[in-house]
Each structure stands twice: as C-alpha cells, then as structure tokens.
Chain A
Amino acid sequence: GESVGLHLPTLSVQEGDNSIINCAYSNSASDYFIWYKQESGKGPQFIIDIRSNMDKRQGQRVTVLLNKTVKHLSLQIAATQPGDSAVYFCAENMGAKETSGSRLTFGEGTQLTVNP
C-alpha cells in the first residue's frame, strides 16, 4: 500500500504486505530528516533518520528514501505487522545555526492501519 501524505492521510494494508508512506518537505535547505511513529496517547518515537548527503538508509524492516530534486521523502515498512499501526510523521530540520540543534518541522502525518 502507498500514501501521499497530506492528500491521503490514511493508509490501510494487510498484515505481511509492504507499506510506503510518502512525505513532501518544504525547505530545499533542510539537511536532516527523521521519521517518527506515534501511537495513541504516546509521544513520537524515533524510527529512522537520514542526512541530505544520502539517498537511502535502511534499518530493521524500514527503509527511508530521499529525493532532494523533488523534495520528497518516503518510508517503506517491510512485512507490516499489526504493531506498526500508528500515525507516522516526517520531520525536517530547518535550523540554520550550528548551535540550534534539530529545529524539527513536522508534516501532518499519515495514519497507518494494519489489518490482520
């Protein structure tokens, strides 16, 4: 299953399928991106990050792809499980100063529902 973030804020997939969640970011100068997972009643939880000098980064069952040309980020989840059901946010670091840490700006999120 695949979503386009703001245009399709919900994504429903079958257990075991691969999921693709998309995100368009706003600032061409952003050089650091994070995907967060947020379950109901909890704070955002780090999934994976990527720096702008990379196009792809893989973690455990997750892959993030970065296309700087069109300012697009995607999160791929392999063999999606019911425990993956949550809202997924992409965030970009819009901080410009070395001392500013990660000034993260979040997208609106995509609700992923995994059906058993």
Chain B
Amino acid sequence: EAGVAQSPRYKIIEKRQSVAFWCNPISGHATLYWYQQILGQGPKLLIQFQNNGVVDDSQLPKDRFSAERLKGVDSTLKIQPAKLEDSAVYLCASSLYGRNTEAFFGQGTRLTVV
C-alpha cells in the first residue's frame, strides 16, 4: 500500500513570497489533515478535511494560509505572504472515515523562510 505522498520535500523562500505544498493521501482515506511542526515541538493541526469539506480549520491563520481539497482526494496548502515564523515542517496525514482511526503521515515539506 502506497503511503501519503508530499511534495516538495524542501523549499526555501524569502519572506512575503508565496508557497504551495501538495499532498496525495492513501487511496480510500476520506479524512486528510495538514499539520505544522516547528523544530523541537509536536505537530499542530492546521486544517482537517472530510472528503472535500472542511471539518476543522480553527487553528489555520486564515489571513495568510489557505487549503483546498478538490474532488476529495489531493490537497494543496498555500501560504501567502510567508513570514519568518512560518519556517517549519508541514505534514500531511490521512485516515479512514470515522472516529478514532489511525492517522498515517507523509514525510513532510521542510519550509525555510529567509
């Protein structure tokens, strides 16, 4: 079974530029998550999709971050404009539909904002 795919693996941008990350979840997984992991900390949930609908985006900085999951499969997370404090690893995860299901993570995209 293929895992969660993310690209790119690394990205370096200047502050105030924009950037986009892509995620392809495990086939058949209805739920998709984007997490932000700052160095030395645990992952923090940014947004959660159930199929192509948003379930939870309470911790997403909506003035600069946006995410979509068209057709309920792949997802993109965008930051515009980026700030220095956005430097982190952005992790995508997916799980089967339903409560209390295991979330599988991708390898993440390491973003450095300079």
Contact = CB atoms under 8 A, between A and B. Distances in A.
Partners in one complex: yes
Give the interface size class of chain A.
Answer: 20 to 34
A33 B16 CA distance: 38
Nearest to B94: A101
Contacts of A32: 99-100
Interface of B: 4, 30-31, 33, 41-45, 48, 50, 55-56, 91, 93, 95, 97-108
A48 to B, nearest CB: 10
B102 A46 contact: yes
Interface string A75-104: 000000000000001010101011111111
A46 B55 contact: no
Contacts of A44: 43, 91, 105
A116 interface: no
A49 interface: yes
A45 B43 CA distance: 12
Contact of B44 (A93, A95, A106): A106
